Structure formats: structure tokens, C-alpha cells
Structure 1
Amino acid sequence: MKMTWTTLSRTRMIWRRKRRTRRWRSGKTTRRWMPNPLTEAMMKEGLSLLCKTGSGLAHAYIKLEAKDRDLTDINLLHSYIHLRYVDISENHITDLSPLNSLTHLLWLKADGNQLRSARMNELPYLQIASFSYNQIVDTEGIFHPRLGSLDLKGNRIRHVSGLDPERLTSLHTLELRGNQLESTLGINLPKLKNLFLAQNMLKKIEGLENLSNLTTLHLRDNQIETLDGFSKEMKSLQYLNLRSNMIADLGELAKLRDLPKLRALVMLDNPCADETDYRQEALVQMANLERLDKEFFEDEDRAEAEEIRQRLKEEQEQDLDADRDMEPYRPPS
């Protein structure tokens, strides 16, 4: 089959993208690139979505796609103040400061660049920001008041700091998978609903006790050994993924009893999941649990777990009565 120039160009682009993706994931990045700034010609090619400006008296293009163009700087964006949607992913960009003048920006995708920071001036309308697969080392300088979703997966972040709950008042989804996190401290964001922390180096859970709106917590592929760190204040948590950690003691499951809305729990590939009574113990400890790993509980499972709970309760009451009987007699004074 004869390959056209368009097909050949597209094939080369796909190959280059795959090569670059492998380089990001292996941590091997090329540090120097031939200068290739964003030009007016590229802007004309990438602009779309003509809309009225804020005053309503003029029109401007508000969407830019400049993806996979080998760009090394985007200084030209200083003058395109009406942009609301910007995709500059899969380039070699190291500096986001040209975006500081885009005060109408709603959506930003800057994945797969050479960024070491996501720091920018406050953008009052920014709602979605994605900086995955860069070289970002911290979470400082992110304080956009309407930001709802922040994606930082595949970077080099070791500790979370600078995420101010009084400034990030709308943040509901935080993606930190595939970093180098050693602690969950610093994620004190009460409005947060979805938190993704898989593929890090976490050994325990701490500082998440007050996330009362959190519904989804993803902790797969870490080094967690204990289930300390959960509290009854986490009253909205429905889905908890702890797959491929190091939890060996089935007794740790009792520490999840204070999560009233927990419905789905994933514990596959933990040592405790190999125990014979693993599923039964989970349901005994968490009566409202609907699904463990990939399987839902049946009615007979629930009935058996309830019998065990009742028996344990009776045994505890008998132990208390026995303790009272053994107390020395004290005559009334």
C-alpha cells in the first residue's frame, strides 16, 4: 500500500509521542532542545471557537490547541488574553509565566512537558488544570479559587505543601498518582471528594482525618502496613482502594468500622487477603459493605456475619459481667 505524505507524517508523530511517553515514565528526559517558540503561524493553525469578548462588543478565538509541536516557549500567549481553553501538552515547555495574563482561562492541559513547577499567578476562573508527566517537584503556588480538578500524576513530588484550603475552596478532585510521595500530610482540603494517591511510597495514612466530603480514596501500589489514620469524620467515604499494599493482619480491618458510608473496599494483593476467613471478617467488621474486591456480598453472607456479630457482642457482655463479679465487695459507708 502506498503511504501518503499525510499518513507518513501522522505515523512519525505517533512514534515520536510514544518515544516521549516512554522517556517520561522511565525518568529519562532530554534536558536541552532546539529553541522552537510558539509563532503566529502556529496560533492561526491552532485557534478555534470564535466568541464574544467580555464587553460583548468584539469577537475573539478562545480555544488554542498547540499539542505535540516541540515547543520550547509560549511567550506569544501574553497577548492572547481572551483564551479560555488551552492545550499545550506534549511539548518541551519549562515556563508557565506567559499564562499569567490569561485571566479568562477556564481549562488548561500542559501534560508531558519539562515543567518543574505548576506555579502561576491566581487565575480567577480556572476550573480544570492538568500537569501530568512533567518533572514537578512540589505543589506550591497553586491557589486558583475556582479550581475544581487538579492533575499532577507522574511527576516527582515527595511532599504536599502549599495547598491552602482557604484559597482552594472549589477543589474536589486531586490526582497525585505515580509520584514519590512519602506522606499524606498536607492534603487538608475539606471540600475534596476524590483523592488518587496510587503508585507512591506511602507507608501509612495521616492527616486525612478531616476530609469529611471525601467519597473516593485510591491508595493502590504503596507500602502501607497499617490502617491507622481513618476516622468517623470521614463520613462520606464510599470507595477505598488499598490493593497491592503490605497489610498482613486481618485485625486491621476493624479500624475501618467508623466509616459509615463505606460500600466498596479493594484489598487484593495484600497478605491478609490470603487468609481463609478474609471476606467474612471484612463483613463482620463493616456491616454496610456491599463489595469486597470484585465480588458483591450475598444475603447469606450478611446473615452469617450478623450471627457472628451477635455472638461476639454476647461474649463481650458475658466478659463484662464476669469482671464485675470478680470485683471485691465494698460495704456501704
Structure 2
Amino acid sequence: MADDDPDATDQPAAEEVTEIEADAAAGAGDEPAEDGGDAAAPTDAPPPCEGEEPVPPPVDEDDKPVEDSEVLTSEMVGQHISLLARTGNGLSHAYTRLEIHSKNLTNIDVLENYLHLRYIDLAENAISDISALSSLEYLLSIDFHANKIKKIPASMDKRKYLQQANFAKNMIESIDVTDWPMIAWLNLNENKLSEVRLPEFGELIHLEARGNKITTTRGINARKLERLYLGGNQIKALDLDDKPNLQILHVRDNQIVSLDGLNESLNHSTINNLVETLDDIWRLGT
């Protein structure tokens, strides 16, 4: 079998996720608000008249203050919400997609009111708490990569329609959910995890958790898993006998001292991804 690129995430497009009809009351997005730009201060302003405030000098780009954090508001949601779809009862329609990048968002509590959202992409912000999503029962796809999330809270458990989730480049130390029965694609790269415990992830096919502090492969209860990327961790031994469908395994830059625990169905080209040099292969075989 050909060796896949270990850096490829293979994230499916949101449109490929199976539609699930949502039968709940939706929060309506407000109309977009118009942004008014501030006029730039003149660079060579004349001296102020008597009693008039002086014009401040222009601010150098390097001296500008860091952008203030933002609370997500209904007005902002209204500007970025899209994909009108029929609700579950067939009596009305609601917007189901929200995408906002690089706005330094920190608080997303307003999303509790948007019950029909199915696709949420809030990548590259400053969000640390995603508990506001607990009321969104019909989520299909979420992307929170490059935020400041510290844990996936238990209130996010039992997302029975969620099929793909991207939490790469956060600060996650714990995963407190036990059952995402439909999740097929999960990215946990570059967090602070010491273990990955996924008790009831029976449909998971693709899992990435590179660049963490993981010491064991135990706890990943995903018998259908086909692609597993765990490079750049602290794993010493492999426990993958219960992964009969595993086809691709990348665990470079770990501390592996034994090949015991590998499923016998893994072919030689896949095993070569475990180590860096021929000397390593010889050492593991002795």
C-alpha cells in the first residue's frame, strides 16, 4: 500500500457532510450592520487654532495597540450566517452555517440562541470556552483550529449527528466527552494532551493528534479507525490490536522501543513510518 503524506489532513469539505434535518426552534440572525471606517489623521496637520484640541500625530504601525478581544454578537452573526435550509418539521427555514475567521473572538455565548446551526467555522480566533454549543443538537461539522480552547467539555457529549471536528492548534489538556456516535474525522494536532480517551467513537475513521504529550495509544475505542497520525509525542509502546481496519499509521518522533501491539494486517510500508532510520528498524527487530 502506498505511503500517504503524513502532513495531509484529508479534511472533508463541509458540503460533504450528510445533511441532518433539525427539528428545533432556530434563533434568527439579525440583519448585517454597516461598518463605518474611521478617517485617518492627517500627517501634516496645521497648528490648532486657539481653543481647539491639537491633532494627534499619526501612529506608527509597530506602536498600534493589540486588537481588543471581541464578544460575538447577534449583529456579527447576521453578517456571517448563510446556507438557508428547511427545518426538521418542514414548516419553516433557518440559516445553518456560520463562518468567522481572525476576529479575535473570545466569547461565543450568543450561539446558544441559534439552534439550527449545523456548520460552525470559527478558526483563528481567541476562544477558550465552547460550552455555548451545548444547546446545538444538530451540529454536523465544527472547526475551531487555532484558538485557545483548554478542554472539550462534558456538556458537548452525545452530539449524535456530529461527523467532523477540528480542534488543532489549541491548548486542550482534556477531552471530557465519551460518545460522539457519528464522528468520522477528528483533528487534535498541536495541543497539550497526555492521552486520548475516546470511549464510544465507533464510527471514527480518521484521527490526528500530532504534536501533543501523548504517552499511550490505549483508550481510543474506535474499531473502524483506518488512519491514525500520532507523530511528535512521547509514546513508547503501541496498543493497536483492536484496530482491524487500520491502514495508515504515522508515529514518527516518539520513543517507541517495541513493535509489539501492532495489528498483523499492517503491511511493511506502513510499519516503516514508525521509525526514522534503518538503524531504528534493526534495533526494534532485535
Render the CA deviation track for 1:82-121: whole Å, top value 9, x for unaligned.
1111001111111111111111110000111111112213
CA distance in 1, matches of 2:281, 2:223: 30
Q: Which residue of the other structure, out of 239, 242, 245, is the alignment partner of 2:270? A: 239
**1:175 maps onto 2:211 in alignment:** no
Q: Is the 8 A contact 1:216 1:238 kept in 2?
A: no
Instruction: State which of 254, 260, 263 in structure 2 corresponds to 1:222.
Output: 254
SS at match of 2:70: coil
Please, which runs of 5 or more residues in structure 1 have no aligned partner? 6-31, 255-333
* Residue 40 of structure 1: how far off its partner (Å): 1.7
RMSD: 2.5
Of 154, 163, 175 in structure 2, the residue corresponding to residue 127 of structure 1 is 163
- Asked if 1:151 is matched to 2:180, the reply is no
Q: How does 1:27-176 map to 2 (within 5 A)?
A: 34-119=68-153, 120-161=156-197, 163-164=198-199, 167-176=200-209
Aligned equivalents of 1:249, 1:110: Cα separation in 2 = 38
Is the 2:204–2:225 contact (alpha carbons within 8 Å) kept by the matching residues of 1? yes
Deviation at 1:250, TM superposition (A): 2.1
Please identify, of 87-96 and 136-145, the stretch whose mean Cα deviation from structure 2 is larger: 136-145
Residue 269 of structure 1 aligns with which residue?
A: none
- Mark the CA change 1:147 to 1:248 in structure 2 (over 3 Å): closer, same or farther: closer
Instruction: Give the letter for the 2:126 counterpart.
Output: H
Displacement of 1:246 in angstroms is 9.2
Q: 1:177 & 1:247 partners in 2: Cα distance? A: 24
**1:62·1:83 contact (CA, 8 Å) conserved in 2?**
yes
Q: TM-score, normalised by structure 2?
A: 0.70
**Contact 1:114 / 1:134 at 8 angstroms: preserved in 2?**
yes
Supply the AA of the counterpart residue of 1:125: Y
Distance (whole Å) between structure 2 residues aligned to residue 33 and residue 140 of structure 1: 32
**CA distance 1:98–1:194, change in 2 (3 Å):** same
Rounded Cα–Cα distance in structure 1 between residues aligned with 2:93 and 2:212: 42
Number of residue equivalences? 219
Contact 2:244 2:263 in 1 (8 A): no
Q: Check conservation: 1:115, 1:134, Cα contact below 8 A.
A: yes
Q: Give runs of aligned pairs for residues 255-274 of structure 1, distance below 5 A.
A: none
Residues in 2 aligned to 1:142 and 1:90: alpha-carbon distance in whole angstroms: 26
Alignment partner of 1:248 out of 261, 269, 280: 280
Label 1:100 to 1:238 Cα distance change in 2 as closer, same or farther (>3 A).
farther
Q: Which stretches in structure 2 are left out of the alignment for 5+ residues?
A: 1-36, 38-65
| 1:11-55 per-position Cα deviation (integer Å, ceiling 9, x unaligned) | xxxxxxxxxxxxxxxxxxxxx995521012211111111111111
Q: Is the 8 A contact 1:124 1:144 kept in 2?
A: yes
Is the alpha carbon distance of 1:238 and 1:58 closer, same or farther for their aligned partners in structure 2, counting shifts above 3 Å? farther
Greater RCO, CA 8 A, separation 6+: 2
Counterpart in the other structure of 1:324: none
Residue deviations 1:114-144 (CA, integer Å, cap 9, x gap): 1111221321110001101100012331421
Secondary structure of the equivalent of 2:107? coil
**Does the CA-based 8 Å contact 1:174-1:195 persist in structure 2?**
yes
* Aligned-residue identity in percent: 37
Aligned AA (2:260): D
TM-score (norm 1): 0.61
**Residue number in structure 2 paired with 1:310:** none
After superposition, give the CA deviation of every residue in 1:283-320 in whole Å (9 maximum; x if it has no partner). xxxxxxxxxxxxxxxxxxxxxxxxxxxxxxxxxxxxxx
**Greater helix share, structure number:** 1
Any conservation in 2 of the 1:49–1:61 contact (CA below 8 Å)?
Answer: yes
8 Å CA contact 1:179–1:199 kept in 2: the answer is yes
- Superposed, 1:173-212 pairs within 5 Å as 173-205=206-238, 207-212=239-244
Asked if the contact 2:123–2:147 (Cα under 8 Å) also holds between the matched residues in 1, the reply is yes
